Amino acid sequence: MRILVTGGAGFIGSHLIDRLMAEGHEVICLDNFYTGDKRNILRWIDSPFFELIRHDITEPIRLEVDQIYHLACPASPVHYQYNPVKTIKTNVMGTLNMLGLAKRIKARFLLASTSEVYGDPEIHPQVEEYRGNVNPIGIRSCYDEGKRVAETLAFDYHRQNDVEIRVARIFNTYGPRMLENDGRVVSNLVVQALKGKPLTVYGDGSQTRSFCYVSDLVDGLIRLMNGDFMGPVNLGNPEEYTILQLAQTVQSMINPDVALKFEPLPQDDPRRRQPDITRAKTHLGWQPTVPLADGLRLTIEDFRTRLGDRVAKVPSVSSH
C-alpha cells in the first residue's frame, strides 16, 4: 500500500513510519521541519520504498496514495504558541488541502486530533460524546479550536463528498525522539533531571494527566486506519497520574537529590485529563500495554544518549 504521513519527521510521525516501513508499505513522508527532525527518518532515506518531501501543507500538493495519516501540526504549547496564526492555518488550511487530496484520489484519511478538543473538562474521564469546555480566545485556542475545526472539516468532507475518514483524539504521548525543548511535561522533567536542574511543577502538582507510550499510540492509529470504525476515538492510557507523582517518579529514576520547583499554573491549563477508551477497546480491540515505568526508562535512555555531554553526572536509571 502507498501511504502518506504528514508531519512524518516528527515524534509520533517517525515512529508511525517505522511501523509502516517494517510492514512493507511504500511511505511518503511530508514535513516542513518546523518541529520535525530529519534524523528521525534517516534510516529510511536510501530505501526504494521511502520518499521524503519537504513541503508545507498550507500549500496544496498533488500525490497518488491509498491512505493519508494527517499528523502535521506543532503539538506542544511552546511550539504552537510561538506562531499561533501559523498553527491555526496548519490546522484549517492544511487539513482542507489534505482532505481535498483525499477526495480527489479517493484515499482513506486519518486525522490526528487531540484530547485538547475537550479543553478544561467538566466531566471525568473524558468520553467522545463530551463536547468540551474550550476557551475560544485564549493562548491555547490556536491549537484547541484549530483541531476542533479540523474535526468539523473531516466530518463535513465525509458527509458531503463521501471521503473515508478516521478521527483519533490523541492524549498525552511520550517516548524516544521527543524534542528537548517542546515544553511537554515528560520531556521537561526528564531533561531537567538529567541536567541536574530543579524539576518544574506547575501549580501544586495536583492536576492530572495520562501518559501513553508512543508504540502503543502508533498501534492504535494503525488499527483505526485499517478498521471499519470512523471515530472519533480516544487513544491514550487511562491510568491517571498527578503531575507531582510524575515528577517524583522521574526524580527517583534519575537523580533523587534534585529539587522540585513550584511555578504558577499557565493560562487555561486543564486540571484533569484522562481518556475513557471504551470505544477503542470495543471497536479497535486496542488498549495500552506499556507501563509508565518501562516507557519512562526507554525515554530517559534516549534523552541521555542525545544530550551526551550536557547530562549531569548522575547514576544510571534505576530498575525499580
User: 84 — alpha (psi -120 to 50), left (phi > 0) or beta?
Assistant: alpha
Residues sharing a CB contact under 8 Å with residue 83, sequence separation 6 or more, in sequence order = none
Looking only at the bridges linking them, the beta strands covering 50-54 and 67-70 are unpaired
Angstrom distance (rounded) from CA 298 to CA 310? 19
Catalytic residue, candidates 69, 143, 157, 174? 143
Looking only at the bridges linking them, the beta strands covering 2-6 and 67-70 are parallel
Can you read off the three cell numbers belonging to residue 54?
A: 519537504
**Contact yes or no for 16/221 (Cβ under 8 A):** yes
Nearest alpha-carbon partner for 226 in 160, 283, 169: 283
143 carries an active-site annotation: yes
DSSP, res 122: S
Catalytic (active-site) positions: 143
